[in-house]
A = this chain, B = another copy of it.
Amino acid sequence: MAQRIVPDVVVRRLTQYYYALRNCRKRGLEIVSSQLLGEMLNVTAAQIRKDLSFFGGFGKQGIGYNVDSLLDHVQRILGLKRTWPVALVGLGNLGRALLHYQGFEKEGFKIIVLFDSDPGKVGTTIGQLEILDDKEIAQVLPAMGVRIAILALPPEKAQEVADMLIEAGVRALLNYAPVTLKVPEGIWVRQMDPLVALQSMTYYLVSLEEA
């Protein structure tokens, strides 16, 4: 089947379908309507049907979607039925908190290599993993088949390290530094800085007070 190009907003929403469907299964539902899925995701039932039509025909008119089967499809589409090796760069407080976050491995993201530029950290180990020097990225990473990296770095280092990671085969970056990374076409970045997120909401709080 020829696949149409799927807009990024639909892909992002697909992760919400994944959690909503897991929730349905937990509640013992076998069938879910586009109506109910829509309510869970805050979108219309028509939007749900349109989103899912990008990936082929699921569900039956007037009956709804089989929860297990749709969940299985969504997992396959999103590439969640496997383990993804991940590089973590930056082992400050945030990097360490991320390293110890058990959610990653439960969901198939396994941090298998650590990098930092601080000579005081390089060569030390956390759990089973030794912290390697940033400079070794080009040398070490390609053989590992790592496509995903987490950047927990100060803003002034983020672009340089991102360039090295991409050069070494990384295609998806989870960026905690408060900086807009410049990346070539075909590289995906999700911006995770909590400050940027807060600062994008205070605008509305100011408007509220002035209203």
Task: Give me the interface of A with B, judged by CB distance under 8 Å.
Answer: 6, 11-12, 14-16, 18-20, 40-42, 77-80, 84, 86, 93-94, 96-98, 100-101, 103-104, 107, 109, 147-148, 150, 155, 171-172, 174, 178-180, 182, 186, 188, 190, 192, 194-206, 208
Contacts and interface: CB of A to CB of B under 8 A. Distances in A.
Contacts of A14: 200, 203
Given A107-B199, A148-B198, A190-B201, 18 more contacts: A11-B204, A15-B196, A16-B180, A18-B199, A19-B155, A19-B180, A42-B182, A79-B202, A84-B205, A101-B194, A103-B195, A147-B208, A148-B201, A171-B204, A172-B204, A174-B194, A190-B198, A192-B192
A188 B101 CA distance: 26
A144 B86 CA distance: 42
A130 B182 CA distance: 42
Nearest to A182: B42
A18 B155 CA distance: 14
A4 to B, nearest CB: 12
A80 B203 CA distance: 9
Contacts of A103: 178, 194-195
Given A180-B19, A180-B20, A11 B195 contact: no
Given A42-B180, A101-B194, A202 B94 contact: no
Contacts of A199: 15, 18, 78, 80, 107
Contacts of A11: 200, 203-204
22 contacts: A11-B200, A11-B203, A16-B196, A42-B180, A80-B202, A84-B205, A94-B97, A104-B194, A104-B195, A109-B195, A147-B208, A148-B202, A148-B205, A171-B205, A171-B208, A174-B194, A174-B201, A186-B208, A188-B201, A192-B192, A192-B194, A192-B197
